Amino acid sequence: MAYENTDGGAGAGSCGEPGASESLRTFGAVVQALREHAGLSREEFADLVRFSKHTVASVEQGRRMPDRDFLERAEEATGNTGALRRAAPHLSRQAGLASWFRQWARLEATAISLYTYECRVVPGLLQTEAYTRAVSLAVPPLPGPEELEQRITARLARQELLAVTRKPPTAFSFIVEQAVLERGTGGEEVTRELFDHLLELIERNWNVEFQVMPLRQPSHAGVDGPIMLAETPENRWFGYSEGQQNGRLISSPKDLVQEQLQRLAG
């Protein structure tokens, strides 16, 4: 069904990188143990590390790769034992990418700038756990519990790409249709949490630009669907467009201009 196995942010499939791993789960358990030993609730700990309680929960449950900011602040909040800093280099990832997405993911991981236009759902790099769950359950065939958890883990773990501490940090620009934000996927509570997450992310990550495409846009270059552009460290550009059960990597400069860059002009 629609968008299965892609990672543009829509429905389903083994769409993310990395997937769950024992090292992520072990690291999360250590974070939780140190937090509890320090006498901190999850909410109190979240305030100290300046991440949402949902992010803290995702790290503790092994769903999300912690970025450097989280790691350093967590160390300080739990007494600077050094345990988290020593454990972090040993975190490993498991591939969970659709076959047609893997080449793009390799480009994405080293890109110096990434541009995304999305008209279906909030892009995967910006999703919350609850939103990812709601989207995954909205696209048939419905996944089983184990597959659902794998999808959520993979999607959230890829969000490490947004970290400003990466060298060099990637510059992100997201353009999302207003209708996507007003759709209310997952209900009011999920939408409210998503909005809080987006505001927190935009405020915290100076490398993230977020724009909303108005409902009324008579001249609109994105009517052909969601697209992504990536600039490599060598200043070469690649594009990626998604269909329902496939994706297309675009490397020809001519095709990029004709099929990708012109759409962003709207």
What pTM did the predictor assign?
0.63
From first CA to last CA, the distance across the chain in angstroms is: 29
The whole-number pLDDT of residue 68 equals: 80
The whole-number pLDDT of residue 243 equals: 62
The whole-number pLDDT of residue 162 equals: 92
Q: How far apart are CA 250 and CA 160, in angstroms?
A: 25
Say if CB 198 and CB 126 are below 8 A apart.
Answer: yes
For the chain, give the number of residues. Answer: 266
Contacts of 239-243 with CB under 8 Å at 24 or more apart are: 240/104, 242/3, 242/6, 242/8, 242/10
How confident is the chain (266 residues) per 10-residue block, as mean pLDDT? 38 40 81 93 92 87 81 91 84 53 75 92 93 87 78 80 88 95 95 95 94 88 83 87 65 60 48
The whole-number pLDDT of residue 3 equals: 32
| Residue in 176, 73, 60 with CA at minimum distance from that of residue 126 | 176
The whole-number pLDDT of residue 195 equals: 96
Say if CB 224 and CB 117 are below 8 A apart.
Answer: no
The whole-number pLDDT of residue 16 equals: 37
Q: How far apart are CA 104 and CA 170, in angstroms?
A: 15
